[in-house]
Amino acid sequence: MEKHAADPTIWEEPETAQRMMQELATLREEVEAWTGLGQQVRDALELLQLAVAEGDEGLLEEITAEAERLEAALERQEFQLALSGEHDRGDAILTIHAGAGGVDAQDWAQMLLRMYLRWAEARGYEAEVIDWADGEEAGIKRGAVEVRGPWAYGYLKAERGVHRLVRLSPFDGAHRRHTSFALVEVVPVLEEDIEVHINPDDLHVDVFRAGSAGGQHMQKNATAVRITHIPTGIVVQCQNERSQTQNRQYALKVLRGKLYELERKRQEEQLAELKGEHVDAGWGHQIRSYVLHPYQMVKDLRTGYETGRAQAVLDGELDGFIEAWLKAQAGD
């Protein structure tokens, strides 16, 4: 790639060249991380030989601490190998749908949206809410956010599935315990050169006026866009207070990602059928429980990873759950 990048003719197609340079920079950074770690290990081994030869106890203690640091660094590097999917390096679009549970479920969907926004902020990612639908009394019926940053899709794909909340309902006059559900969908943001064919004749497009997040204001012009993909029934929309053209571009971006995921799932189901395994083609099973009463615990039912720091999780501390799932996938 470096040899190809040195050819000035690649800039005759600026967009293609820019994408290649970004990929090259990412690959170079990954290679340098491994080679740099290898050099640090070699340096530590040379220092160890010197400390043993001279019987320097103080230096041996320093090398022991350095060995622990290098081991932790190696574990982080090995973990990156779990992110080997085709689009793991790229951006992601995460959509949350309120499920069973009425107003509590809509409030839960908004809590999850806040959780993922906090998580993205803590990782230094850019996160932009691109669609929402206000709940009837509180919360949201649906919310979508585009998360931009290295490995955003690789990490967030661990969150796909049904999330369950158990708590004392703030919307129940008797303050009883309620269980509510929300579905999280995650699709990759695809590069334009990835082949996902969309026939314009297969699209039904509606435009409407959009309110700002929370529904405080209404725009005078119809800028929000809803696109229905007729062959699959997939519906996407965007109303992030941009122009109608920009909202249409965003909606098509989401649709491309969903159609790609649909094809990926179809191929996985075909492979599973060949293997004689059963694959549930529905919305999927509950993947994680968030219990706030009568005790506090968040537990992932796929990996068994759990923590009693429920509020910290709702404030965006998700890395433990994501890493446990990715490690389990790598182990498989």
Q: Which tens digit of pLDDT belongs to each residue from 25-71?
A: 878 888 999 999 999 999 999 999 999 998 888 899 999 999 999 99
Question: Nearest 5°: phi and psi at 328?
Answer: -65, -40
Q: Which amino acid is at 165?
A: L
Is CATH 3.30.160.20 the right assignment for the domain spanning 200-275? yes
Q: Which tens digit of pLDDT belongs to each residue from 152-198?
A: 999 999 999 999 999 999 988 888 899 999 999 998 887 655 567 78
Q: Which tens digit of pLDDT belongs to each residue from 77-87?
A: 877 777 877 78
Same topology for domains 92-189+289-331 and 200-275, yes or no?
A: no
The pTM for the full model equals 0.67
CATH assignment of 92-189+289-331? 3.30.70.1660
Strand residue runs (E) in the chain: 92-98, 126-134, 140-148, 161-168, 177-188, 203-208, 224-229, 234-238, 286-291, 297-300, 306-307
> From the CB of residue 281, how many other CB atoms can be counted at a distance below 10 Å?
9
Q: Where are the domains positioned within the chain?
A: 2-80, 92-189+289-331, 200-275
Q: How far apart are CA 116 and CA 319, in angstroms?
A: 11
User: Which whole number is the average pLDDT over 240-266?
Assistant: 81
pLDDT recorded at residue 214: 42
Statement: residue 262 has pLDDT above 50? yes
Statement: residue 148 has pLDDT above 90? yes
